[in-house]
Chain A
Amino acid sequence: MTPQFVYADFPFISISILIPLIAAIIVFVSNEKLAKPISILSSIVVFAISSYMLLTYDPSGYKIQFYEKYTWIPQFGISYEVGVDALSLTMFWLTALSFVVAFVWSTNIEKRIKEYFIAFLVLEAACIGVFVAWDLVAFYVFWEVMLIPMFLIIGVWGYSERIYAATKFFIYTFFGSLFLLIGVIGMYIYNYTQNNILSTSYFDLLKLSLPHNLEIIFFLLLALGFAIKVPMWPFHTWLPAAHVQAPTAGSVILAAVLLKMGTYGFVRFSLPWFPEASKYFMPVMFALGVIAIIYTAMMAIAQTHIKRLIAYSSVSHMGFVTIGTFALNVEGVNGAIITMISHGLTSAALFLAAGFIYERLHSYEMKDLGGMAKFVPVFATLFMISAMASAGLPGLSGFVGEFLALLGTFKVSILTAVLAGLSLVVGAAYTLWLYKRTMFEEELLTPEKKEEYSKLKDLNTAELWSFLPLVVFMFVIGLYPNWWINLISNTTKFVLHKIVGG
């Protein structure tokens, strides 16, 4: 299956990477008050571009669309090569959406407003770059650039343990990505010695036929980089720390976008490049996935800090993506991709909810919370929908992906599917638990608390508008999954073409 290239008439992708960067420069030189409007405006433009691309994308056949390629460092055969297939495009779209949400939400930043928005704008450019780059060096550059603003976001605008969390986040991911770099360079050199092709392009490396032992080594090197980013058990320990300490918008981006980079890497690189190694490591990945799902779901139940609970639930959901991906069949990979999108929406919404609660009650600890529902009805409703979508209620986005992922897994390993399926129950338990402990149990409130709660304000306009799009798209995906599956199905076939043929 050779991909075709549809060159872009207009460089939409490059423009979408440049807009946030230009906006960052404008924010840097302009007044503090303009920082927020400029950021929101630029992110909305990028979102509009990505939506336009999503609607005009041609899902028939496997074509890399909106493709651009320019020479960058000819000595090494490195070029700036961007384009989208359905997987890239949906991730790009999710990124653009998440940043709109993050910017609209960030009303009450008081500390270093300009730097805050600059960091997020640079982050947006880097995140988009990761998903659209087809040149491995360009990919790696974007993948690493993202660390700088994220390090600052956690470290400057986070909570008390922020510096520890930021450093841990940075060092963990940097460690993994350097192995990724070794793997990529190894393949590049191998390609050079075998075929005398000096190129870091994805498609040139795709043509390589590696001997079995090298395939295993390269798979492991790349997988280490991706697994830390996902994060898979046992590399997940940076995530709860980072999430707990990050500011709300940072958590939203971390959960919705950054975690997807790891699973994106597995689907994009590991499967097509290393088909034999993927089959070889399927049991290992299943095991790690199931451990992640069950262990972190158990961990989530035990948490009293609501952000930490959501963070663990993220690891658990990522476990579904892992097992779906390594089921190595169409249903599984489709399910993994849909789960990635869905988790982007639901985790973002849940972190917004946590942020909302903290704004109002200044605590993330469950013992200080509870009984809010009656006083903030609109918020309670949206939070409920998000929680249900996260738990996998049919009709909402979470169900579709996890169902497909389980279906794919069931075809390969019944035991894995059963174990993962059982943990859905645990998943529902902690999500409902979270909701109950923060929203219900009004009868346990003391009179003073009731007095205090009656003064609570419901969602303000900015908060409402950042919540709404997420909830709307949860319904869109939940009710019309076919459109999305149709969109990605050819990409999935391409991803699996060396494994299942075709």
Chain B
Amino acid sequence: MTIVQQLVAGLGIPNFKVLIPEIIVLITAILVFLAELFIKSRALISALTVVGLALAAFSMLTISEGAITLYGLYIVDSFSLAFKFFLVIFTILAIINLQSYVESKKTYYGEYYYLILFTLLGLMIIVSSPNLISFYIGLELSSITSYILVGLWRKDYRSKEGAFKYLIIGGAGTAIISYAIALIYGKTGSFDFARIFHVIQDNSDIGVTAGLVLLLVGLGLKASAVPFHFWTPDAYESAPTPITGFMASVSKVAIFAAILRIMVEAFPFSNQIWSYGWAILAAASMILGNFVALKQKNVKRMLAYSSIAHSGYILAALASPNGMGFTALIFYSIVYLFMALGGFIFLSAFEKNGNWTNDFEDFKGLAKKHPIMALYMLIYMFSMIGIPPTVGFMGKFGVFMALISSNVWWLAVILVITSVVSAGYYLKVVAYMYMYEPVNSNKFNLTTMEKFTVGFLAVLVLVVGIYPTIFWEISNILTSVLIMNAGVR
């Protein structure tokens, strides 16, 4: 027995040991917080963070069976474990590229590391909460730390603006969610998903519906679905690029997982309102995200809008409230991690150079100077359009299947048309990289970590795209776990 386990046994909380990954992340966060005060070397802090996260990821592999702990406030099942595993791994991939980036920007804040760890902890809580209260706590933890992460460049006007917008709108979002929780609690008398499920199944009324709608609005806001997306472009653009990558991939996917769990476990399928609601939000996100992205001159901002559009594609799967839709959502959100993080880390790698402003102009002739990096970016871009053999195609394929099997043709057609629109701006990146002559001939300094991260994710995009079987199987299993959990406990 480890010390932790002994302590835990002393506290008398059943099944406490399934919380070890979270505990490791928490301890690492506190250690990093203290270390930041005394240790000057940021590289060391970065290494400490990575080691802590690696330990957390490793400890997840040792958990062989799921359990409910903290007296029903926390659930560890294969759904939450799988998502947490991906979250931790992708946080590592974002962090290893952070130091070189912030150094090139001449900022030496050590706060990044423990703030990211706290955000991650919050996200881990929200994917494994079977209860609206623990969900709310996780959401607040991750949101507040995210506001600070965006605004860390306190001397930069845009960073402040982005953070402020994010804070105001995000704060409104959490407030809306708390109203929703209150309404649902008022009707059902419980925060627990399973209890809510049963009460609603028996009789549903306007109170519950109002709560559900507010919940949809709040969650949609966190997932940057249109029309609640206004914080996204500014926050994404003004945050340090690796942080943007972290928010666009890890935070977002955790929100999708939480949305899926809440919808499936707390609200019966027979309650069709939520699938209509998500369908409308998805359609709006796809249309607006893609059309506005078309107009952008800055690739980072363009990717922020593309991230809104991708929220649309992913949420569209919820318009088909059955196993197929859930599988599609899980698959797409996991593979979206690869593309989103890869794309932003690509930008952060080049942004270290002083003249690079992320404008399309900067991409001119990149394929000549950095042929391999350009090839990786090409893979990401085609994956985001949804061209096989990349994961982007497989993700959209799953959503298509789900939509058509539920006869939601109108959404499938919107998905198609907006995908074609999206080709307009993704192709522009490829065209600028490959089809123009370089404007200046200086090479960029890229660290090994950046090359590794971008390359590794690009290879994943390609390999999983060609052989998605394993990931489909994972998604299938997670779906069946969710559906089995619905209303049971």
User: Which A residues fall within an 8 A CB radius of B?
Assistant: 72-76, 112, 115, 137, 140-141, 144-145, 147-148, 151-152, 155-156, 162-163, 166-167, 170-171, 174-175, 178-179, 181-182, 185-186, 188-189, 192-193
- Given A148-B378, A171-B427, 18 extra CB contacts under 8 A: A73-B469, A140-B388, A144-B393, A145-B389, A151-B427, A155-B435, A156-B434, A166-B431, A167-B424, A167-B431, A170-B427, A171-B423, A174-B420, A181-B397, A181-B416, A182-B412, A182-B413, A189-B405
What's the count of A-B pairs with C-beta under 8 Å? 85
CB distance from A203 to the nearest CB of B (A): 20
Distance of A189 Cα from B404 Cα, bound (Å): 7
Cα–Cα, bound, A471→B120 (Å): 67
Residue contact B423 to A148, C-beta cutoff 8 Å: no
- Collect the chain A residues with CB atoms within 8 Å of residue B473's CB: 75
| A141, closest chain B residue (CB) | B388
Interface SS, B side: helix
Which of A74, A162, A166, A185 has the largest number of chain B CB atoms within 10 A? A185
Contact A152 B434 (CB under 8 A): yes
26 pairs across A/B with beta carbons < 8 Å?
Answer: A72-B469, A75-B469, A141-B389, A141-B393, A144-B387, A144-B388, A145-B389, A147-B387, A148-B378, A152-B430, A156-B434, A166-B435, A167-B424, A167-B427, A167-B428, A170-B423, A171-B424, A174-B385, A178-B416, A178-B419, A181-B400, A181-B416, A182-B404, A182-B412, A185-B404, A189-B401
A133 to chain B, nearest CB (A): 12
A90 CB, nearest partner CB in chain B, Å = 26
**B476: interface (CB < 8 Å):** yes
Q: Which residues of A contact B438 (CB under 8 A)?
A: none
Closest 6 CB pairs of A and B: A141-B388, A178-B416, A155-B435, A75-B472, A175-B420, A189-B405
Which single residue of chain A is at the shortest CB-CB distance from B468? A73
Cα-based distance from A419 to B336 in the complex (angstroms): 53
A175 proximity list for chain B (CB < 8 A): 416, 420
Interface assignment of B114: CB less than 8 Å from any CB of chain A: no
Asked whether any CB of chain A lies closer than 8 Å to the CB of B313, the reply is no
Q: Say whether, besides A76-B401, A179-B416, A182-B416, A163 and B388 are in contact (CB < 8 Å).
A: no
B416–A163 contact, CB under 8 A?
no
| A119 CB, min distance to chain B CBs, angstroms | 10
C-alpha gap A144/B385 in the complex (Å)? 11
* Known interface pairs A75-B473, A76-B472, A141-B389; A178-B435 also in contact (CB < 8 Å): no
Residue contact A155 to B434, C-beta cutoff 8 Å: yes
Mark each residue of chain B from 387 to 413: 1 if its CB lies under 8 Å from any CB of chain A, else 0: 111000100010011001100000011
* Distance, CA A155 to CA B427, complexed state (A): 11
Q: Would you call B274 an interface residue if the criterion is a C-beta within 8 Å of the partner chain's C-beta atoms? A: no
In the complex the two chains form, what is the Cα distance from A115 to B435 in whole Å?
A: 12
Q: What residue in chain A is nearest B381 (Cβ atoms)?
A: A148
Assess the A145–B401 pair: CB atoms within 8 A: no
Chain B residues with CB under 8 Å of A152's CB are: 430, 434
Binary interface profile of B, 230-250, with partner A (CB < 8 Å = 1, else 0)? 000000000000000000000
In B169-212, which residues have CB < 8 Å from any A CB? none
